[in-house]
Amino acid sequence: MKIHFLFCLLLLTPFTAVKAQYTPQFDNECTRAFNDADYINARYKCAELAEDDNAEANFILATLFAKGQGVVKNKQKAFEYLTLADEQGHAEATFNLALTYELGKVVGVDVEKRKRLAFDYYLKAARNGSVNAQRKLASRYSNETSVVYQPEKAAQWLTAAVEQGDNKAKLELGALYMKGEGVPKDQARGLALIKGSADAGYDKAQFIYATLIFKTEPQASIGYYQSAANQGNGFAAHNLASLHFNGEYLAQDKNKAHEYALMALKQGVPQAEMFLINEHSNQSAAAHQASTRSHDALTFEPPQPSQNLSGFVLQFGKYAERENALRVAQQLDCKVVEMAGFYYAINFDFATYAAAKKRAQQLVQTYNIAMPYIRVASDFNFAAKF
């Protein structure tokens, strides 16, 4: 039996800035209130400390005003407090200031200047010990299309992050050693770094390490796949679906394969659809038709080609089989259209990009799915009726 596997490419992927929940470094009334989500009290306690030029208090105040926690949301005040915290040497404030410039959230600054300022702030934050900034710089220096491409510097910054215990950096530095980019090629050292990241619980490292050792240690590999899948890693779920479907190293179990395939599809891995297709191809025609009819209520008559749609659409998936699109639609309470031979699970009716993004974030939190694509609605002007 042929195993349909997704294999990893040992490439440093572009850094995606995700603002994680900040964990204060010091214990005082300001940080305790913030940690306890007592944001109103945190606002006053931190304001008192901020008067004494406390960098962390200023950074927490920036966070509160940026998110509207315990205060009225005020981006200008957030930026002012962030700038103060940066000037007082707070590395994560500097990193967030860099993000603010990179994402174009500072009014009145031209694009080229924003890019220069963002890079300068990333560099400053990295030098002050921000592992986020160190990994960000590494992604810039390791990108062959970047004007600052210098893999040696990428390795240096990742090493600095690893020395602080950053598990994501372990994976990326391991990739450099495996490829010999910026460092002497040393596959044993690279594999050890990736394993360290995987053993620390980083799901991407678990998937990559599992794939690297699969041929020599299949049972250990499966354990890492399972751990990654339990954390929502769609690629690991895909490979487990393949193993269960084919009965290789795991008992052949079409139901398990089906479950893992659905998990992978939900996380945006369309290749897993083949296991659902193969499984349903063994059903009787009558059962297949009954299954299709059971989802008919979820379909709708999409707009005619002559209509000009406006606004934005959330796209949850693109499928070769209508039934699979309908299954996702049922889970997420969205609709299905067909266009150019494919079926799309989508949500219409968002007048603005901001409204679409807000709804997407709510669905990600509620259903633990990958972030859906936000597309302009006019892309679906030629969606055909079923």
- DSSP one-letter string for 69-132: SSS---HHHHHHHHHHHHHTT-HHHHHHHHHHHHTT-STT--HHHHHHHHHHHHHHHHHTT-HH
DSSP class per residue in 278-293 = HHHTTS-HHHHHHHHH
Least confident residue range of 80-94, 107-121, 158-172, 272-286: 272-286
pLDDT greater at residue 93 or residue 107: 93
Exposed / middle / buried, residue 86 (Cβ in 10 Å: 0-12, 13-18, 19+): buried
CA nearest to 171, candidates 141, 144, 193: 193
Name the band, by pLDDT with cuts 50, 70 and 90, for residue 19. very low
347 Rama class: left (phi>0) / alpha (psi -120 to 50) / beta? beta
372 DSSP 8-state letter: P
3-state secondary structure of 178: helix
DSSP class per residue in 109-127 = --HHHHHHHHHHHHHHHHH
Q: Where are the alpha helices (H) located in the chain, listed in sequence order?
A: 29-35, 39-50, 55-67, 75-87, 91-102, 111-127, 131-141, 151-163, 167-179, 187-199, 203-213, 218-230, 234-246, 254-266, 273-280, 285-293, 322-332, 353-367
- Only one residue has tokens 């200031």, namely 97
Burial 233-256 (b: 16+ CB within 10 A, else e): bbbbbbbbbbbbbbeeebeeebeb
Pairing of β 312-319 and β 373-376? antiparallel
Which pair of tokens denotes residue 361?
Answer: 């974030």
Would the pLDDT of 305 be above 80?
A: no
- Contact present, 343 and 325 (Cβ < 8 Å): yes
pLDDT at 291: 37
- Contact present, 34 and 42 (Cβ < 8 Å): yes
pLDDT at 277: 54
pLDDT at 292: 36
pLDDT at 106: 84
Instruction: Give the C-alpha separation, 139 to 15, whole Å.
Output: 6
Which pair of tokens denotes residue 378?
Answer: 């006019």
Number of Cβ atoms within 10 Å of the Cβ of 370: 15
pLDDT greater at residue 220 or residue 311: 220
Instruction: Give the C-alpha separation, 370 to 265, whole Å.
Output: 10
pLDDT at 85: 96
Exposed / middle / buried, residue 142 (Cβ in 10 Å: 0-12, 13-18, 19+): buried
pLDDT tens by residue, 5-14: 555 544 333 3
pTM, 2 dp: 0.69
